[in-house]
Structures are given as structure tokens and as C-alpha cells.
Chains A and B, each alone.
Chain A
Amino acid sequence: MRTFTFLLLIAVVLLLEQTVLNFLRVAGVKPDLVLLLIVFNGMLKGSREGAYWGFVAGLVQDLAGGYYIGLNALSKLLAGYAAGLVEVRVYKESLLVAAAVVWGASVVSGSATFLLLLVLGIAVTPLDAFLRVVFPLAVYNSLLSLLFYRPFHRATFYGILREERY
């Protein structure tokens, strides 16, 4: 059930990213809600599940786009894994910790995407990539995490994203 709910959540968020979030651009960027889901999940469930769901969500995003299958899968896998590394190390119920982890994971994911674009021969200058996308997006995502982390935390332990135990 959790798997199905998480997949549905990813699909809905992707649809929002293609439509509604275009009207919520700040400093030229729109938030990456798929990344938020992955990072929250990684923080609460550990690096193994963080990486797994990062890969799955990224792959869904790639398949929906139809091109460069693997680009988002790899960058989001890394973000999920990185977020999972803090699982046992810090006080993960704190909003500020969540915001900091989201910032870091967004930078990891953005840097990976930038490098992969270079590998694909798509020329984006480092200045443009980091000043216009990676850092503004990391700040935007981390601010939004203050809004969404608590509901996700509750859903993971007591709500629709809770693991079933038989």
C-alpha cells in the first residue's frame, strides 16, 4: 500500500510541476517537489531506501519526459542516498535540520545533473548552472521543506505512508 501511495504521490507532484508550479517561480526557478519527497523519505528511512526511492522517482520523471532516461534517476538516487546518511546521525525531527538536509541534497542533485548534462554534450556554463539554478533552487526547496516536512513526517509514521505490519 505504501509503495502504491508513494508512486501516486510522485505522479501527482510531477503533474503539479508541469502546470501549477510554473506560476510559483521565484528568482527564475520553480521548486522541485519530487526531490523534497525523496529527501524527506531518505531522512526518515535511511540511505538504502532513500537511494531506492530516489532512483524510482527519477526514473518515473525520466519516463514521463521520454528523453535522457537515467538523468533524473541518477541525480535523485544520489540525493536520496545523501539524505539517508543523516538518518542516524542527527535529530531528524527538527525543522531546521530538515531544511539544512534539503539544501544539501538539492545541491548534490543539482551538481550531479550539471555533470551529467556535460557528459551528454549539453553545454551549460558552471556560472549559469550554479548561480541561476542549483543554489536558488536549493534555497527555495529548503524554505518549502519548513512547510511540508511535518505533514510528511506524520504521514510516514501515523498516516498514509506508514508501513503495514502484519
Chain B
Amino acid sequence: MPSWQYVKRVLLVLVLLGLALSAMHLTGPDRTGKPSLLVLWARDVVAPVQHGLWQAARVVSAGAAFVFSFGRDTGYTRSLEKKVAELQGEVKRLRVVEQENSRLKALLDYKETHGGASLVAVVIGRNPDNWFGTITINRGRADGVTRGAVAVTPAGLVGRVLTVSNHTAEVLLITDPRSAVGSAVYETQVPGIVWGTLGEVERLKMQYVVKDEPVRKGFLVRTSSLSGVFPPGIPVGTVTRVAEEESGLFKTVYLRPAVDLNRLEEVLILLKQ
């Protein structure tokens, strides 16, 4: 027979667990929409310190990379790497445009895809844990950034804005397990949904891809015109592996993101009209 003291302790633990679980559910981003004003205010206050620390760490990291690579990893090689990524993104984009032109799509709206209002934002922080994938940027409501605005680089899709304070915004990366992007394989136009797997892991998973459609390693995946959140035609990633699903109806396609999300320095925010 357990003592009353023991029963009380177990009850207390259960009540605490119930309260914490309820709080977690009630404060999910899909429920609350945005964090409290106090949290947003604190982010604005901390932003300059965060920016300074981020920049300092970047400089130290670049110096360390130079030393440990025995001088091979210089600013010049990094700028070349960046340029290659940009050009690869450009090639991918041109392939998409070429295909769309060749099909004489009357509904091609170049302005909607690439020509809308946008602004450059600098990355000043990242989520503190290893599970989620978010970055903090130095632009906020005062600059016209709104929740849901899309973040890209010349190489491809980065994510979408999750929360906005006056001078900062938090961007949900496409590698975050909460992220879902309506996409299509460029070569075959077969649609699917691209999910993040883990914030820090450079791997995406495309599900609900019809089994009969051929998808091979190296194929390009881009945002679909059916996605209501992302403009169509933005490169999302490249196919690295194709696996059959147990149900037998679909296959799962694994992708490497088009953008190196672990080395982001600036992003372009496509402002909502």
C-alpha cells in the first residue's frame, strides 16, 4: 500500500505534466499566431548585441578556417563558392523559365515569380537548439516584413517568415520539421510535398509522389504553382535518393536543399503585396 506522501507526489507530477503539455499545445505557432509582445520587444532589444556577436563569430570562424586549411580557405575562395552557388541557381531558374516558355504557358507571370517588391536582410542569429531550423534576420515590421513572407537566395528557397517584431523577423527554414512546401519535380512536373527532417540536417523529404512517374537522382525540384504560400518556380532542392513507400501507391524522394542553409549570411525577403 503506497503512502499518502507518495500518492501526493505522483499526483503533483501528473498535474505538472498535464499543465506543461497543455501549455505546449496552446503555444504552438499554428495556435497563437505570434509570441507575446514582451518576447517580441525583448528580441528587438537583444538584436544589436546578437548582430555584433554573430558578425564577430563569423570573422573568427573565417580566420580559423583559413588557419586550419593551411591558407587554402580564403575570402576569395569563399566568394567564388558563393558565386558558383548563385550561378547554379541562375541556371536552374533559366531551365525552369525555358521550359515554361516552350510550353507557351499563357499564365506565366514573371513579375509574380521574381519581380515583386523585395528587400535584403542580414542573418543575425539562429535557433538555440538542434531540433528546429529557424534564423533571425535584421528586418522587421518597420521594413514591411509580414508573417508568411518568403525568404530566398539567388540559389533557391530558404523558407518563410514565422514571426515578426519591429526590427527583426524569424524565418522558418525549409529543413525545419514543421515546414511543408508544395513542390513539383521540374523534369516530369509530378507534384509532391517537401518536408523538413531536422533543423540542422541538410536533407529534405518529398512525399506523396505518384509511384508511376519516373523520378531519378539529380532531378530538380521547385516550388509548385499549386502552392498558395510560395511563388512558383523557385528551386527547392536536387533529388539524392528515391524510395518506395510501404503503401505501394507513392514514393518518397530525398533531396539536398538548393541553398546551403548552414552558411547563410544574407537572404532576400519577397514582400507580400
Contact = CB atoms under 8 A, between A and B. Distances in A.
A71 B36 contact: no
Contact of A117 (B39, B42, B177): B177
B17 A122 contact: no
Given A20-B57, A70-B20, A124 B39 contact: no
B130 A120 contact: no
B262 A19 contact: no
B113 interface: no
Interface stretch (A25-33, A90-98, A144-152): A25-33
A26 to B, nearest CB: 11
Interface in B6-40: 17, 19-21, 23-25, 27-29, 32, 34-36, 39-40
B127 A70 contact: no
B188 interface: no
Given A64-B42, A120-B25, A133 B200 contact: yes
Interface string A107-133: 000000100110110111100110011
A63 interface: yes
Given A22-B126, A132-B198, A66 B24 contact: no
A66 B19 CA distance: 17
Interface residues of B, number: 45
B136 A137 contact: no
Interface in A53-76: 61, 63-74
Nearest to A61: B128
Interface in B27-65: 27-29, 32, 34-36, 39-40, 42, 46, 49-50, 53-54, 56-58, 60-61
Given A72-B129, A117-B131, A23 B58 contact: yes
Interface residues of A, number: 42
Contacts of A68: 24, 27-28
A135 B46 CA distance: 32
Interface stretch (A9-17, A38-46, A154-162): A9-17
B163 interface: yes
Given A18-B50, A73-B20, A113-B131, A67 B29 contact: yes
Contacts of A129: 198
Contacts of A22: 54, 57, 126
A32 B42 contact: no
A113 B178 CA distance: 15
Interface of B: 17, 19-21, 23-25, 27-29, 32, 34-36, 39-40, 42, 46, 49-50, 53-54, 56-58, 60-61, 124-131, 136, 163, 177-178, 195, 197-198, 200-201, 262
* 8 closest cross-chain pairs (CB), A and B: A66-B35, A17-B128, A70-B20, A23-B61, A19-B53, A20-B57, A18-B125, A70-B23
13 contacts: A15-B46, A16-B53, A17-B128, A18-B125, A22-B54, A22-B57, A28-B130, A32-B129, A69-B24, A69-B27, A70-B20, A128-B198, A133-B130
Interface of A: 14-20, 22-23, 25, 28-30, 32, 34, 61, 63-74, 113, 116-117, 119-120, 122-125, 128-129, 132-133, 137
